[in-house]
Amino acid sequence: MRNKGKKRMLFLLVVASVIGFSGCSYQKESKATAQASSVVNLMEQSEIGSMDTLSTQDTASINAQVNVFDGLYQIDDTNKVAPAIAKDFPNISDDGLTYTITLREDATWSNGEPVTAKDFIYAWKRLATPANQANYMFLLDGTFKNGTEIINGEKDPSELGAKATDEYTIEIQLEQPVPYLTSILAFTPFFPQNEAFVTEKGDAYGTSSENILTNGPFLMKNWDQASSTWDLEKNEDYYNRDAIKLENIHYEVIKEAVTGYNLFNEGQLDMADIYGEYVKQNAANEELQTVLTSYIHYFKMNQKRDGKDTIFANENVRKAVYYAIDKEALVKDVLSDGSEAINGFIPNNFVFNPETGKDFREDAPLEGPDKATALAYWQKATADIGDKISIEMLTKDTDADKKVAEFIQDQLQTVLPGLTVEIKSVPLNNSIELTRKSDYELAIGTWGPDYQDPMTYLYNLVSPNNTNYENKDYDQLIADSNTTYANDLATRWDTMIKAEKLLVEETAGIVPIYQRARSIMVNPSLKGVYYPTFGPSTIIKYAYMEE
């Protein structure tokens, strides 16, 4: 029914990365110098995978893209969707199925050409084309008219429910009402692309700063896919250039937390994510900011690998893992950065009951860890699969991820007798590819929301998916939420609560572990940076250095 195997793992994920690092090669620059020249020095925890907005799912790429591209809508500093290339919010038909959007006429590409409605339509049809294997093609499934049929190869991308009615007007036709559509349109896969440029570059498009054409507040310089550094320069032709105060931003990939922390203290970085002992040391430091993000770190338990069932096809194994991890000890003793233990897939402070205003997590409590329950399920499992079991746990190669993996390894081996856990630590892009291909057993995944609705999490486990979890009742609850109850918001809310409970507590399809916080050392002179709860983890386009 659906084709959505490639989804952003947020690892990161992402809306907030735990950014740690290795050495910097650029010239030292004091905070005072940075202030005077409107230059800021920042870091990411991983390399940029691609600047093709259709080909990425990692936080570093998405953070870069929102700084060099503009979509129809953007996320403002109050965490709400606001117009960007669109002049205003859509004109919506009474039945909620037709959106008409008028574009501003002063937006240009970095080659001087105007940004028009056809640039958006081209990008969306490219997103819908199955041969392109776009990571976020699934966002068209059941939303844009004919999206599902196009994804399944039953209709041509030219039949997608979107068209340019004139040079600066877009009309979108939907399969059913989508109350969160504007937040989807603020996400990077729905940014425009210049057809002539993309066609000219072919496979090279998005692979280097010379092979992208942008329309946002900054121009990208000195980047290719092997780069551990890159630069952003202010776009003097940007339609809202007077609101852009920074002239230059320098990025460095740093994977060791201690390196980033030391560079910040030396004045070589203006922001540095920290965790653990560094958070405790700086608890009273005015330079420390702590933000609870919407990123959920969770276990992905692959039930089928190379065409054969894994031990995670056994529900008792999955439930044993679900109850085994002391999440509170993990967030307090290992991370110590404000992250919170969580039992559900939907984060705290993300979405709220449309009738009562209550937080989703308050409306949907789930059972937490219990070692006795974990052992009981483990004993049932080992009666079927044997009492000596070895599994491989996939994780990313950052300092923080390694420490989390080591803690979980110890927990599982202690609580579940006879289990041996081997850690496989790889770079982010390798981790993405391995999970995409279902070439793993147990993985620590991360998911950050792309738009502001529970479906941005729950849809990940609709079959087929890269954990090979398959539950017809779950699929039906998700389908009902998106169709039957699309206009009945109260029933839709209750149905999504049922779906999460079935996925997490009743079948242990995944195991949520913690909701990540960011503890960030920030140069007090750097103002105007904000951290959305969906989409990118950091927006710096309107930042400035205070005199």
Structure-derived torsion over alpha carbons of residues 178, 182, 188, 191, reported in degrees to the nearest 10: 110
Residue 10 has pLDDT above 60, yes or no: no
* Any domain includes 262: no
Whether 438 maps to a domain, the answer reads: yes
- How many separate domains does the chain show? 2
Tens digit of pLDDT for each residue in 198-240? 999 999 999 999 999 999 999 999 999 999 999 999 999 999 9
Residues 6+ apart with CB under 8 A from 403: 276, 334
Give the β-pairing of 229-234 and 248-253: antiparallel
In a domain, residue 15? The reply is no
Residue 430 included in any domain? yes
Concatenated DSSP letters for 169-231? EEEEEBSS--TTHHHHHTSGGGS---HHHHHHHGGGTTSBGGG----SSEEEES-BTT-SEEE
Q: Determine the distance from the C-alpha atom of residue 74 to the mean position of all C-alpha atoms in its chain, rounded to a whole number.
A: 16
Residue in the structure block whose two tokens are 């939303």? 143
- CATH number, domain containing residue 357: 3.10.105.10
* Residue 405 and residue 295 share a domain: yes
Residues 380 and 248 in one domain: no
> What's the pLDDT tens digit per position in 230-273?
999 999 999 999 999 999 999 999 988 899 999 999 999 999 99
Based on the fold, state whether residues 469 and 446 are members of the same structural domain.
yes
Whose CA is closest to 237, among 364, 329, 108, 394? 108
Do 502 and 540 share a structural domain?
no
Contact 432, 57 (CB under 8 A): yes
- Measured between alpha carbons, how far is 46 from 490 in angstroms, rounded to an integer? 40
- On whether residue 103 sits in a domain, the answer given is yes
Residue 295: pLDDT band with limits 50, 70, 90: very high
* Residue 229 falls inside a structural domain: yes
Q: Are residues 356 and 404 in the same domain?
A: yes
Residues 226 and 297 in one domain: no
Q: Does position 376 have pLDDT exceeding 80, yes or no?
A: yes
Same domain, 101 and 142: yes
437 plus 506 within the same structural domain = yes
76 and 127 share a domain? yes
**pLDDT tens, residue by residue, 100-148:** 999 999 999 999 999 999 999 999 999 999 999 998 999 999 899 999 9
Cα 83 from Cα 91, distance rounded (Å): 13
**CATH number of the domain encompassing residue 44:** 3.90.76.10
Same domain, 160 and 175: yes
Tell me whether residue 134 is in a domain. Answer: yes
Contacts of residue 358, defined as CB under 8 A and 6 or more positions apart, other chains included, come to 352
* Structural domain contains residue 87: yes
- HSE at residue 402, side-chain half, CA atoms within 13 A, is 11
Which residues are CB-contacts of 204 (< 8 A; sequence separation ≥ 6)?
A: 211
Q: What pTM was estimated for this model as a whole?
A: 0.82
State the residue range of the domain holding 452: 291-518
pLDDT for the residue numbered 38:
62
Same domain? For 466 and 340 the reply is: yes
> By the 8 A CB rule, do 93 and 112 touch?
no
pLDDT digits (tens, 9 = 90+) for 420-457: 999 999 988 899 899 999 999 999 999 999 999 999 99
User: Is 348 found in the same domain as 231?
Assistant: no
Which residues are paired to 230 by β-bridges?
A: 251
